[in-house]
Amino acid sequence: MESGAVSVADTLSRKADFPGLLTADGAPWHYLDSAATAQKPQAVIDAMSRAMGADYATVHRGVYARSAEMTLAYEDARRKIARLIGGSEAEVVFTRGATEAINLVAYSYPDKGRVLLSELEHHSNIVPWQLAGWQVDVCPLTADGRIDLDVAEAMLTREHTMVSFAHVSNVLGSVLDAKRAAELAHSVGAKLLLDGCQAVPRLPVDVAALDCDFYAFSAHKLYGPTGIGALWGKAELLDMMPPWQGGGAMIDQVGFARTTYAPPPQRFEAGTPAIVEAIAFGAAFDFVSAIGLDAIHAHEARLVAQTRAALGAMNDVTLFGPEDSAGIVSFLIDGIHPHDLGTILDEANVAIRAGHHCAQPLMAKLGIPATARASFGIYSDEDDVAALLSGIERTRRIFG
């Protein structure tokens, strides 16, 4: 760890830095739904509050000092987000979130041929391709819930112009061998988009080392605000993509006869951007990088191992996903619907997710309507796991 960095243990002892982790009466709230959205540290809330208060002004157009400062802060956030994933700032487009980032590529990428998806994709990485008119092929999974890259290799043809896979599954927690996926895509001339929603908060990510072509993620799963995310794309690809939304800030010259467009990333940021959210996204980067994603990953891996071991020892529990899942544990208990489990756990201040997790094709593949899902974050600890386990015992007594 770099000197001056904060350890995960320090962060845990500052659990109170996350005001969202208490119930209305001030009791600990065992929040195990960080894969849906992460709680926010006070530093991010403060950055957002300052940007919306004393520092507030528009970006890009103002001639007054406040606007110039706001523009610098907005572009500084872009630099931080680029650094987070090992890209350059000219290659980072701010979007409303991962969903809009994937839509942007699905609509704007000029060579719309066949796209290879997988059975574990989030609806956000399925529906945009369908809507934008791509031919969709689907790669199956291995028995332990990974995208089966041997089958992907056999399926890929020269007709495929895109491969779009989750870097980490939001249901199973399985981590993609993204480097190999990039090699396979490139071997047939296709590009690789990685849906990094669950990877960016849980693993060190380096788009240059992975050699992917596009990378999409949301701020709100990385301890930042809702309403903003990012698309990273290789400069030469963004350069050849036309704008997909028109408006202010994305133009070069506008005339009724002819309009020309700004270069990327501005070309893809029509209208007044999410200024306040971008700055708070930058603050989320500062928070996470002070701890280090290696440390966060190791911390979550310990909690996953603990939870899987405890649940695996119960003979009425089915666990999904591989042993080395990143931060996410999906499971079912015989005779107890996940929604009932979730409701009874809620009475004990334990919040899990129950449902299809925006992955209906995966549920169909597994032959189940839903799973229960516990997912971890920086602030999760052994107490949260213990509360989950005792809540499961209580649910079993109620249903037994």
Q: Does 34 bind ligand PLP (CB under 6 A)?
A: no
Strands 92-95 and 229-233: antiparallel
CA angle 100–106–108, rounded 5-degree value: 95
Q: Which of 170, 266, 371, 395 binds ligand PLP (CB under 6 A)?
A: 170
- Contact in structure between 42 and 17 (CB atoms under 8 Å): yes
| Binding piece for ligand PLP, criterion CB under 6 A, among 92-100, 178-186, 255-263, 330-338 | 92-100
Shortest CB 368 distance to ligand PLP, Å: 19
Catalytic residue among 139, 197, 212, 358: 358
Shortest CB 122 distance to ligand PLP, Å: 3
Nearer to ligand PLP, 166 or 284 (CB): 166
DSSP string, 169-187: -TTT-PBP-HHHHHHHHHH
Q: Does 122 bind ligand PLP (CB under 6 A)?
A: yes
Strands 30-31 and 92-95: unpaired
Strands 114-118 and 160-166: parallel
Nearer to ligand PLP, 268 or 333 (CB): 268
- Phi then psi for residue 109, to 5 deg, are -65, 125
Nearer to ligand PLP, 11 or 375 (CB): 375
Shortest CB 236 distance to ligand PLP, Å: 26
Sign of CA dihedral 324, 229, 13, 34: negative
Question: b or e along 335-346 (b: 16 or more beta carbons within 10 Å of the residue's beta carbon)?
Answer: ebebebbbebbe
Q: Which of 124, 266, 380, 395 binds ligand PLP (CB under 6 A)?
A: 124
Nearer to ligand PLP, 99 or 395 (CB): 99
- Contact in structure between 49 and 277 (CB atoms under 8 Å): no
Query: Cβ neighbours of residue 336 under 8 Å, at least 6 residues apart?
Result: 395, 396, 399
Q: Which of 115, 197, 288, 388 binds ligand PLP (CB under 6 A)?
A: 197
Shortest CB 357 distance to ligand PLP, Å: 8
Nearer to ligand PLP, 359 or 392 (CB): 359
Q: Does 98 bind ligand PLP (CB under 6 A)?
A: yes
Q: Does 201 bind ligand PLP (CB under 6 A)?
A: no
What is the CB neighbour count within 10 angstroms for residue 173? 28
Q: Does 59 bind ligand PLP (CB under 6 A)?
A: no
What is the CB neighbour count within 10 angstroms for residue 310? 16
Cα–Cα distance measured from residue 176 to residue 181, given in angstroms and rounded to the nearest whole number: 8
Between the alpha carbon of residue 245 and those of residues 134, 252, 266, 268, the distances in Å are 19, 14, 11, 7
Shortest CB 281 distance to ligand PLP, Å: 12
- Phi then psi for residue 93, to 5 deg, are -100, 125
Nearer to ligand PLP, 80 or 122 (CB): 122
Shortest CB 301 distance to ligand PLP, Å: 18
Question: Has 358 been annotated as catalytic?
Answer: yes
Shortest CB 217 distance to ligand PLP, Å: 8
Q: Which of 218, 307, 375, 395 binds ligand PLP (CB under 6 A)?
A: 218
- Contact in structure between 2 and 292 (CB atoms under 8 Å): yes
Q: Which of 104, 166, 172, 185 binds ligand PLP (CB under 6 A)?
A: 166
Interface residues toward ligand PLP, by CB under 6 A: 97-99, 122, 124-125, 166, 170, 195, 197-198, 218
Q: Active-site residue numbers?
A: 358
